Every structure is written in C-alpha cells, then in structure tokens.
Amino acid sequence: MVRERESQQQQVSYTVEQLVAVNPYNPDILTDLENYVNEQVSSQTYSLDANLCLLRLYQFEPERMSIPIVVRILIKALMAMPAPDFNLCLFLIPEQVQMEEQFKTLIVLSHYLETARFRQFWDEAGKNRSVLEVVPGFEQAIQAYAIHVLSLTYQKVPRPVLAEAINIEGLSLDKFLEYQVANSGWALEKGHGRSQLIVLPRNEYNHPELKKNTVDSIPFEHVTRIFPILS
Amino acid sequence: MASSYDYDEPSYDNRSYPPSSQVSDVAYDPNFVPDSVKTFVVHLYRHIREKNVYEIHQMYEGSFQRLSERMFRENPWPSVEAVAPYVDNDHVFCLLYREMWFRHVYARLSPTGRQRIESWDNYCSLFGVVLHGVVNMQLPNQWLWDMVDEFVYQFQSYCQYRAKLKNKTEEELQLLRQYDQAWNVYGVLNYLQALVEKSMIHQILEREKEGLEQFTATDGYDYEGGSNVLKMLGYYSMIGLLRVHCLLGDYRTGLKCLAPIDISQQGVYTIVIGSHISTIYHYGFANMMLRRYVEAIREFNKILLYILKYKQYHQKSPQYDQILKKNEQMYALLAICLSLCPQTKLVEENVSTQLKDKYSEKMLKMQRYDDEAYAVYDELFSYACPKFITPSAPVLEEPLTNYNQDAYRLQLKLFLYEVKQQQLLAGVRSFLKLYSTISIGKLATYMEVDEPTLRTILMTYKHKMHAVDSDGKIIPNADVDFYIDEDIIHVVESKSAKRYGDYFLRQILKFEEMISELDRVKLD
C-alpha cells in the first residue's frame, strides 16, 4: 500500500517542482502553482511540497487566496493518508477560513480517518459527494489507506470489518478479494463463526517478530571513541 | 583570558568605576563617545582588519557585554556617526557596529517603531555587502550565529509588534503604512535563502562528505586567507530558515531547510551553544507536530543531557538565561512527547530524573482523558511552543484589532485536536501491558466500549504510533505493540532491551578517564 502511494507521489512533472525549488519564496509563481493543483487533480498526481508552497504564499497574502483551490489541496492531502499532510496544510490555513462549511466537512472527514472510524467516514463522505467527486481517485485512495491501517493491525481480519473499512460489500467485495488474492498476496480462510477471514500479507507491523533487531547494535563512530584506549 | 585585553583592563575594573546610576544621571548625549568606547571600537576595528578571530571574539563576547553592563544599561551605545571617525569611517565596520547597537537596544531597552525599521535597513545593507562578495573578514562563529539568530528574532518581534494594532499611536500607524516593506516576510525569507545559495553551503557540505573539502574540521573558518563570513552566514541561515518556518507553522518545509545538516552527528552547528539549542529545539518541535515522537524524544534527550553536563561553563555567557529557558521548554516538550508516546527507555537516567522532578505530577495527569489532562497539554504546549507569527501585512483600517495571538491559537487548537484523537490510547496501552493475549470482547468490556468501537481504537493506536517520514517510509513508534488474529489480540512484549554495548563503551571511557586522573595525582 505504502509503495503504491509513493509512486503516485513521484509521478510529477518536473517543471513546476523545479520552479518551487528555485523560487520557494516568490509570489510570482502563485498562478503556476494554482494551475498545478488543478493538474494534480486531473492527472491524479500529487506534490505536497508544491501545495505547501502555494499555501505559504496564501498565508503571506491572504487576499489572493482561492477557496476552491485550497479545498482541492485538502482533498488531495486526505488522499495521502497515512501521511500527516492534511494537518500540515491546516497549520497554514487561517482559522477563520477553516470555519467555512466546506472546510468543516473536510476536517470532520479527516478526524474520522485519523481515528479509523471508517463507517462514519463513508457515511459523511456519501453526504458530500459533490465536494469530493471533483477529485478523481478519492475513493480508491481512502480504501488504500484503510487497507494500510488494517494491515498494520491485523494478521487475519474478519470480512465484515474489512467490508466496513473499505465500503465494499457483497459481490463487489468478492470481486475485490479475488483481485487481491491474485495480485497482492491475500488469502481467504474460514473463521470460527460463519464469517470469512482474510489473511493479510505479512509485514513487520502485523508480525512484529519480523522487525529487525537493531536495538543493541553500536554505530561505528561510537566504537572509534575507544580505539585510542584499545591500542 | 584577562591578558588578552590588557589594554583597557584598568577601566574595566568595576570597583574603581562609578556605579551605573551615577552614569545615567548625566544627560544622555547619543553623540558623546566615552574613552572606553573609543578604545573598544579602535581595537575591534584593528582586530577585524588583522583577522584576529580570537581577539575579536574576546571583545565581542567580553568587552561589549561588560561595557553594556556598566555604561549602557539604560541608554543606547553612542551613535554610529559619532564613532565612525575613529574607524576610518569604514562602511562595513559601521554596519557591524550598528548591528550590535540595535541588538543592545532590543536586549536592554525597548525599540521604537522607527528603530525597528532602521534595524531592518541595517540588516539589508549588511547582508547586501556580504552577498555581493566584497567582504574579506574572518568573524567568530558566535557573532555570525548571533546575527542570523537576531535577524530572525527581530522579524518575529516585529510581527508581534505590528499585530498589536489597538494601542498604536497615529505616528506608529503612519510608519507601518509608510514602511510596509520593513521586515516583510518575503524579504526575510529571501535574504536567508540568498545567503544559503550564495554561500554554496549545500555544495560545501556535499563535497565534505566526499572528502573533497574541509568545513567541519576547521569549524567553518578559513585558514587560507579567505573569509568565513558568507559561508557561515549561509550555514546558520539554514537553521534560521528552520526557525522561521516553525514560526509560520510550516514544519515540513522547516525540516527540509535543515536537511543538509546531519544532526545525528556533532557538527559546526554544535560549536555555538545557542545554535545547537535552537537547531534541536525547532527540530524536535517540528517532529513532534509531525507525530514523529520517537525522533523528537531522541533529540530532546541528547540535547538536555548535553545542557545538563555543560551549562555550568556558560554561566557567565550573555546567552545563559536563554539557555536555561530553552532547557525548561524542552523538558516540557519532552513531557508531552513521552505522554503521547511513552518511550521512556530512550531517555537517559539523569534527564529522566530531572524530568520527574519537574513534571511527574503533570505527566500523570496527561495520561488521563479528561478536561484536566487537556488543561495540562494546553499549559505545557503554550509554555514551550515557539512564538508563532502571522506573516501577512496588517489591515490598517478601522476598527483596528489585535491579531498577535491568532497564529498561536491556531497551532494550539490543532495540537489539542491531535491530543483528543489520541485520548483513548493511554487507556488501551495500560490494558495491553497486562496481557499477552486477550479477546476483543473481553477488552471491550474492560474499556466499557462496544466491540466495533474497540476495533477502531486499536486501529487508531496503530495509525498514531506509526509515523511517516519525509520519504513516505513508515516508522514504528510504539512502545507496546500487538496484532490481531481474527478476534484475539496478541500483545508483543517490548523486550527490555538493555543496551549492553553502549553501557560497556561508556564504562570503558569512564574508567580510562579515572585512570588518567589518578596518574595526574601521582605526578603532583
């Protein structure tokens, strides 16, 4: 899951990235950055640094702020979960702007995701389709996040728990599972009750014994300190 | 130390000098240059021309402070116009003198609106000279650090000053209107950025890694006749940028500005204690806001241990109060981090003892999830956070309002929101510690929630205890870990990993130290 998100982040056009790198504090690139937000939305790419740069320019010159652009940035940031991007953006947006209805909704959505309350999240998202549909790939991104949290937590997850987290049920869920079994190393098992169990791929978070034990390793620089004594 | 400035030693003797109250009785004339100041500037000027870093440092850290203490407690130093004749009207020296002049005003008196603007102008001229490469001085790192640090401080101070519109006089408002470019946020950031770029400090640090250049080994000084000024201002500007971005609430960008400096090692940033502390304070704070608690705890622990060991050597330094203040603030931040992420093993014994003395009661409260717990988080955060600023220009239309607290309130609110999202985690953690396996149903009963809610709490725990680093890599932070197999929670005992290797290393060094001490005793 994590890797998929990374590749989403890397597919960015270099021109605007370079623009940001060379002019991190230049108000003249504001329009370019706004266009770039729209481009990220339509091409399903993502650049947090470019977006933070734009929010920074808005912070310096609040009168130039475009609310629809900020909304898009925040939706993209939600899609970048589990990274803390949404908060990073909020830190830069003045409080009175955050009081506006659209932002309040997004903040509530973020809160549900941060506290893994997926059912409430999908309910609330359903009520706000018009805002979220503007950004393609939203659902898939959140599902990816849900699966990420599940695979941090579970070795084997009951089907209803998975269904609720990714908001897919019945036949669609069967199809989804079939795909994951074929492509992502998932497996299906019978659970204790009637319920189906999904075995998630092993990782060091749900199989903590896989964690490399680096606790008692000593950095080489530390050892060098006793060289003079040993010699 | 004393021998190095024998020339003005007689007049430096406090006992033979009239107490300061008598001095200030005399009507203050900004153009009167007392003999001691004459001597001071003449010598400082000479040492700067001769690139005698040691002497410059003595005069800068010692004489300047002592003269300020004795003669300029309530008044500014003589004006630059008055001292200029004694230093050949040297343009650069005058800029440096004024930089110190304003710094003294900020530290001991309270600067007027006009002085704030003049100080900005002076920085523009000074950095302009440095950036255009006509400087061939060699200045002490301490001074160069102070310049960058003071530049950012005065910017922050101006933003606070500007945001308190309510009690401004008409004249002050007029100044704000007239000089709207003074301490403009673009200007400040672009100066720091220009210093970083023009100094090629990124490239220098890169080349150093490959062994092609010396920087750390010479503490940034240039022993081949060149100047260290641009290079070091560029280096310190990376730390200045970190600080400015933290003041703006832009933690990720701040850390990015610092990235070329490897803070896992000693480096040039650790030479001047003010720079060392500022770097780690802001680095730790930014990491805390990014939920990278382990990283924050690790660095706070290191610097707090360092301060504990070395603060005695700085008692006479003009920065001492500042050191103590940041020390206290970082204990508060450490208390916050450990309450959210109890990785107590990362904290060294002595630091841990200090922390307990200061905060054990409050930390106990923070483990709960009631209003009192919030009140403590609120209190510690407010005490320890940077002085956040609103960077935009003020709206100078009636009604004039104060907005100097806005930025702080926003950061506080968002931080407390984060605390709220984690409020149930301390509870779940304390139960998990008691079991190696426990069913979801049973734990739900203990925690007095239903099963689906417990599942969300457990997932929240996992999510919040895993940070994401700047490359998108997942970093585990949990002290107690677990996994769920269908309906059973398996708790993974965090092995009490004794760090034998480190322990032995330290004991070997300690032993060696004792032996050599004993050897010395014999010789006496």
Beta strands in B4-129 (DSSP E): none
Predicted confidence at residue A136, as pLDDT, reads: 92
Beta bridge partners of B164: B402
pLDDT band at B522 (very low <50, low <70, confident <90, very high): low
Alpha helices, DSSP H only, in chain A? 2-10, 14-22, 30-43, 48-60, 67-79, 85-90, 95-98, 101-114, 118-127, 129-132, 138-153, 159-166, 170-183, 220-224, 227-230
pLDDT band at B13 (very low <50, low <70, confident <90, very high): very low
Look at B463 and A49 and tell me if their CB atoms are within 8 Å: no
DSSP label at residue B315? T
Question: In degrees rounded to 5, what are phi and psi of residue B200?
Answer: 55, 30
Cα distances from B429 to residues B363, B376, B423, B478, in angstroms, run: 15, 20, 11, 10
Q: B501 CB near a chain A CB, below 8 Å?
A: yes
Per residue in B399-410, pLDDT tens?
Answer: 788 888 889 999
Let me know: does B102 contact B119? Beta carbons within 8 Å.
yes
Predicted confidence at residue A17, as pLDDT, reads: 83
As a dihedral over the C-alpha atoms of residue B333, residue B334, residue B339, residue B342, rounded to 10 degrees, the angle is 150
Look at A158 and B486 and tell me if their CB atoms are within 8 Å: yes
Residues of chain A found within 8 Å of residue B497, distances taken between Cβ atoms: 215-216
Per residue in B418-477, pLDDT tens?
Answer: 998 888 888 888 888 888 888 888 888 888 889 889 999 999 998 998 888 878 888 888
The most confident of the ranges B159-173, B273-287, B310-324 is B273-287
pLDDT, one tens digit for every residue, chain A (231 residues):
444 444 444 444 457 888 888 888 988 889 889 999 999 999 999 999 999 999 999 999 999 999 999 999 999 999 999 999 999 999 999 998 999 888 999 999 999 999 999 999 999 999 988 888 889 999 999 999 999 999 989 888 888 889 999 999 889 988 998 898 888 888 888 877 667 888 888 888 877 776 655 555 666 766 777 777 776
Rounded Cα distance, B249 and B386, in Å: 10
Predicted confidence at residue A196, as pLDDT, reads: 86
As a dihedral over the C-alpha atoms of residue B24, residue B27, residue B30, residue B34, rounded to 10 degrees, the angle is -60
Predicted confidence at residue B4, as pLDDT, reads: 37
Tell me what the mean pLDDT of segment B141-167 comes to: 91
Output B221 or B297, whichever has higher pLDDT.
B297
Mean pLDDT, chain B, rounded, equals 85
Look at B459 and A208 and tell me if their CB atoms are within 8 Å: no
Residue B47 has pLDDT above 50, yes or no: yes
The Cα diameter of chain A in Å comes to 73
Share of chain B above pLDDT 70, in %: 93
Degrees, nearest 5: CA angle B462-B464-B468? 100
Residues of chain A found within 8 Å of residue B252, distances taken between Cβ atoms: 48-49, 52, 88
Preferred mutation among B455, B499, B511 to probe A, highest tally of A CBs within 10 A: B455
Q: Is the previous residue joined to B399 through a cis bond, with omega within 30 degrees of 0?
A: yes
Look at B462 and A111 and tell me if their CB atoms are within 8 Å: no
Terminal-residue alpha carbon distance, chain A: 50
Residue B19 has pLDDT above 60, yes or no: no
Q: Residue A199 burial (CB < 10 Å; 0-12/13-18/19+)?
A: middle
Sequence letter at residue A152:
L
Listed residue (A167, A67, A83) closest to B251, CA to CA:
A83
The tokens for B36 are 């001691």
In this structure, the number of other CB atoms found within 10 A of the CB of residue B199 comes to: 23
Rounded Cα distance, A229 and A82, in Å: 48
Rounded Cα distance, B321 and B326, in Å: 9
Residues of chain B found within 8 Å of residue A116, distances taken between Cβ atoms: 455-457, 459-460, 463
Predicted confidence at residue A90, as pLDDT, reads: 95
Q: Is the previous residue joined to A62 through a cis bond, with omega within 30 degrees of 0?
A: no
Question: How close A15 comes to chain B (CA, Å)?
Answer: 19
Per residue in B73-107, pLDDT tens?
Answer: 888 888 888 888 888 888 889 999 999 999 999 98
Predicted confidence at residue B21, as pLDDT, reads: 42
In this structure, the number of other CB atoms found within 10 A of the CB of residue B315 comes to: 9
Sequence letter at residue B68:
S
Listed residue (B363, B380, B373) closest to B285, CA to CA:
B380
Exposure on the CB side of residue B294, measured as CA atoms within 13 A: 14
Predicted confidence at residue B524, as pLDDT, reads: 57
Rounded Cα distance, B462 and A151, in Å: 10
Tell me what the mean pLDDT of segment B52-76 comes to: 88
Interface of A with B in 127-146 (CB under 8 A): none
Rounded Cα distance, B119 and B479, in Å: 49
Look at B509 and A226 and tell me if their CB atoms are within 8 Å: yes
Q: Residue B145 burial (CB < 10 Å; 0-12/13-18/19+)?
A: buried
